[in-house]
Amino acid sequence: MSQPNKVAIVTGASRGIGRAIASRLASDGFAVVVNYVSNPAEAEQAVGEISASGGQAVAIQADVSKAGDVTGLFEQTEKRFGGVDVLVNNAGIMDLKALSDTPDELFERTFAINVHGTFNTIRAAAKVLRKGGRIINFSTSVLGLSLPTYGVYSASKAAVEALTKTAAKEFRGKNITVNAVAPGPTATDLFLRGKSAGEVENFKKMPPLERLGTPEDVANVVSFLAGKDGAWINGQTIRANGGMV
């Protein structure tokens, strides 16, 4: 492949918000790594759509909760495209249960992917991200609502926000920004799974704009943070939720 000017890794990019982000960054001129963990067909489909639109993309498998996989992800990206400029930490899980009903396995898996995964990729990016690079993590606007059953998920995202602020300061002198995006309810399979029509309608009514967000709404915010116009935003969490909180 020819060497592009800018390269972005988007974790968990085979579907949903991650896929919309990969597509948007490709249209912005980035060569995009579509990271996935368990569905190569969807990842390759995302790559095919980007290529058909004139962009550059490859699919690379890696489980972000495993440090070795993350090291391989960055090494393969550098081999394919010559470097890394943007890391989007979109990969995550949201399995909801009341705290009293949450098994250890669910707690540990949530933190392994949402927190340890973010830590693993930030640590790897610190070694290779080119000057002027961007790291964009993912939190959630549910942190401002304290909804029942969201306790473990919200706690994992609170940790991500803490990592975001600290990393932004630790990258001093490298011209690298670190921010987080905190979507509100967004119309993806991850969000809609297990919810009744009535529950979905209630979530639609929460923001003053009276609708669910779309993956493209969130991708627009990531595009801003990854582009030249977002260069002065650092150590912040942008709550993309239509005014819900």
Catalytic positions are 153
Residue 229: partners with Cβ closer than 8 Å, 6 or more residues away = none
Q: How far apart are CA 177 and CA 67, in angstroms?
A: 22
Q: Give the containing element (helix H, strand E) for 112.
A: none
The single-letter DSSP state of residue 29 is T
167 three-state secondary structure: helix
CB 137 within 8 A of CB 163: yes
90 neighbors 64 (Cβ within 8 angstroms): no
Tokens of 69: 């996989």
Q: How far apart are CA 170 and CA 159, in angstroms?
A: 16
